[in-house]
Amino acid sequence: MTLDFDEGDDLRDLRAAVADLASRYGHSWYLEQSRTGGTTRALWDEAGKAGFLGVNLPEEHGGGGGGMVELSIVLEELGAAGCPLLMMVVSPAICGTIIARYGTPEQRDRWLPGIADGSLTMAFAITEPDAGSNSHEITTVARRDGDEWVLSGQKVWISGVDVADAVLVVAKLADSAKGTLRPALFVVPVDAPGLSRTPIPMELVSPEHQFQLFLDDVRLPADAIVGSPEAGIAQLFAGLNPERVMGAAYSLGTARLALAKAAAYARDRRVWGTPIGAHQGVSHPLAAAQVEVELARLMTLKAAWLIDTGADAASAANSAKYAAAEAVVHAVDAAVQTHGGSGLSQETGIGALITSSRFSRIAPVSREMVLNFIAQHDLQLPRSY
């Protein structure tokens, strides 16, 4: 067996094409949209028409026929150009993957072409105020009422509901025992009677917003459920491992952006006639961050490859998410310090990365829960929770 770390011409061409598109928008444009109440819809639409948003989805439903390797590359390159599209983590990666794998033919025909070309967007709702990382304590309930499903409950930290056409909601079946996770997945149109939302004010400089969702006896047709309720856990995790990989890709793009800005500044900024990048106190933190980025990038590609080959990707996906989150925090910190006071000015745009990089340690799963997983499954240590 031969190991080959060369991405090949196809993936290099994909990186170049995405980078070219994103460079026509850039970080300044992204920040302007974020701070003025604008949107990234123009970039989203162009990326969709170019086939980038659905590169992981089946060709017969309008996708590119690739996988998580390709989709993670798209998001990484968008982020490196300063234009990360958060909803890529949700719509094509989580929702698209689940529907492509477990949806009925009618559901695939209804949703996948639009998700692939960006004309339809789907949000994802699992987190609850009192459940947090413990999905076994989900209280959003789905019960049968004749030919309909009725959903009641509350969700929190749900991204992009304001730009979505529907939400893939994780509920537990009404006959589930307390403390057990027997999930079922439902496509809920955002205009469904009984579904309401409240925005969550954030310090995050981003055009994508977070919401609380309230489901007050939301009635859905029988065919709103995705897959089999008896195989809900497998279906759920089919979307969560891609979510972790895409979270890693998001972090990698931001880290590369921060390091590119810092390296350019360190080459040009001269103090006492010498570029500050010649001093090890400046260069070493940046170099160390670059090493972390490359290591995280390898794990991200490995995790994406494992998903695409149908192998068990849980440990790799969690490791990639952890490594990339740590890398971006360190990269942004080094970039700010390299710039000195300018690192906190709006002109450089680096200060805006502080909150988003810190957010990477928390979402879509906290670093502590990742370490719990690795300790239990990779090291066979006793479960701590």
Longest dimension (CA), the chain: 80
Task: Give the confidence band of 137 by pLDDT, cuts at 50, 70, 90.
Answer: confident
Structure confidence at residue 299 (pLDDT): 98
* pLDDT 10s digits, 222-237: 999 999 887 778 898 8
Determine contact, residues 212/156, Cβ cutoff 8 Å. Answer: yes
The residues that bridge with 226 in the sheet, in sequence order, are 185
* pLDDT 10s digits, 191-225: 999 999 999 999 999 999 999 999 999 999 999 99
Q: What is the mean pLDDT of residues 366-370?
A: 96
Task: Indicate the length of the chain as a whole number.
Answer: 385
Dist CA 18 CA 121 (whole Å): 20
pLDDT exceeds 70 at position 16? yes
- 177 CB neighbour count, 10 Å cutoff: 7
Comma-separated ranges of CATH 2.40.110.10 domains in the chain: 123-227
Structure confidence at residue 178 (pLDDT): 65
Task: Give the confidence band of 28 by pLDDT, cuts at 50, 70, 90.
Answer: very high
Dist CA 101 CA 257 (whole Å): 34
Structure confidence at residue 229 (pLDDT): 81
Candidates 357, 344, 343; CA nearest to 269 is 343
Structure confidence at residue 48 (pLDDT): 98
* pLDDT 10s digits, 75-134: 999 999 999 999 999 999 999 999 999 999 999 999 999 999 999 999 999 999 987 767
Tokens for 154? 């509350």
Structure confidence at residue 232 (pLDDT): 77
- Bond before 364 cis per omega within 30 degrees: yes
Percent of the chain with pLDDT over 90: 91
- 7 CB neighbour count, 10 Å cutoff: 14
Fold of 233-377: Butyryl-CoA Dehydrogenase, subunit A; domain 3 (1.20.140)
Comma-separated ranges of CATH 1.20.140.10 domains in the chain: 233-377
Fold of 9-120: Butyryl-Coa Dehydrogenase, subunit A; domain 1 (1.10.540)
Handedness of CA 290, 87, 72, 305 (dihedral sign): positive
Q: Indicate the pTM of the whole model.
A: 0.96
Round the average pLDDT of the chain to a whole number and report it. 95
Comma-separated ranges of CATH 1.10.540.10 domains in the chain: 9-120
Domain 123-227, what architecture?
Answer: Beta Barrel (2.40)
